[in-house]
Amino acid sequence: MSIKLQKIKEERKKNKFSFLIKGGSEIFANTIRRMILEEVPTLAVEDVEIKENNSALYDEMVALRLGLIPIKTDISTYRLPENEDEIEQKSARCTLQIKLKAAKKGYVYAEEAESGDPKCTFVYPKMPIVKLLPKQKIDLTMTAVMGQGKQHAKWSPGWAYYKKEPMIKIGNVKDPEKIIKHCSDGVFTLKGNKLELVQENVYDSNLLEYYAELDKGIKVEYNENIIFTVESWGQLTYKQMLQQSALLFIKKVEDMEKLL
């Protein structure tokens, strides 16, 4: 099986990347998708030692919020823990210590947390953790651990999905203005009284079948090519997510070969 990849769109500000898979099957695309969501490891807060918290949020709620904030992960330094002892002993190879202390009125943001590793901090600095009133304080120490999405969604590095490549055919459209009125994703444009396709917006659209229902002059067909999209939450780049998923896939294949 010969597989070719073709770049479609790269949106760095959104941490999003789309590409076309030619010659691959849906089974292959879904395997890579599951590797990204379930197998690619990242850091996430697993344990919180709260020394003081008299805010309006219970300790459990504060810990829950901290656990769901993405942490930039240096995959060249950190690895998955080999056993529970490494986590309990807070091994520097698979855990990270983060401290948070605040005694001010107003919101406490993620950027106020002090990480033991300057390369691994909370992805979104202005994400609010808790709001303090006068004389209220919060003082805690977090232990972030390397983990995988199959254990908990907080370790998933992002989102990945795929769909077949659509091909749009425009025939005799009875009411072009009606289509334009309902076209909210820029797939079509009107020139004169003729409906024209904006190809660069086709891949992102989820309304193609809807347009075909509005007018029989619009037909939607799908070929065997697959549009694969990766969106990062910020722990890793989308390039790292794809690279790691590929390496994990290769390792699983090699492990299976040894068992045969």
pLDDT digits (tens, 9 = 90+) for 155-188: 999 999 999 999 999 999 999 999 999 999 999 9
Tell me the two tokens of residue 177. 């203005």
For 71-93, the pLDDT digits (tens) are 999 999 999 999 999 999 999 99
Q: Which domains does the chain have, with CATH numbers?
A: 4-38+158-230 (3.30.1360.10), 42-154 (2.170.120.12)
- Residue-level pLDDT at 91: 95
- Residue-level pLDDT at 192: 84
Which parts of 110-192 are beta strand (E)?
114-115, 128-132, 138-147, 158-170, 188-191
CB under 8 Å to 27, separation ≥6 — which residues? Answer: none
Enter the pTM of the model: 0.88
Give, in order, the Cα–Cα distances in Å from 205 to each of 118, 134, 188, 215: 39, 49, 11, 17
Distance of alpha carbon 254 from the chain centroid: 27
- Residue-level pLDDT at 1: 62
CA-to-CA distance for 206 and 225, rounded, in angstroms?
17
- Residue-level pLDDT at 193: 83
| Average pLDDT of span 36-65 | 97
| Average pLDDT of span 45-61 | 96
CB under 8 Å to 36, separation ≥6 — which residues? Answer: 156, 157, 158, 160, 230, 241, 242, 245
pLDDT band at 260; cut points 50, 70, 90: confident
Q: What is the 3-state secondary structure (H, E, C) of 72-125?
A: CCCCCCCCCCCCHHHHHCCCCCCEEEEEEEECCCEEEEHHHCEECCCCCCECCC
For 12-25, the pLDDT digits (tens) are 999 999 999 999 99
3-state secondary structure of 191: strand
| Average pLDDT of span 29-53 | 97
- Residue-level pLDDT at 144: 98
CA-to-CA distance for 30 and 161, rounded, in angstroms?
8
CB 168 within 8 A of CB 218: yes
For 179-226, the pLDDT digits (tens) are 999 999 999 999 888 999 998 899 999 999 999 999 999 999 999 999
Using a pLDDT cut of 90, give the percent of the chain over it: 92
For 107-150, the pLDDT digits (tens) are 999 999 999 999 999 999 999 999 999 999 999 999 999 999 99
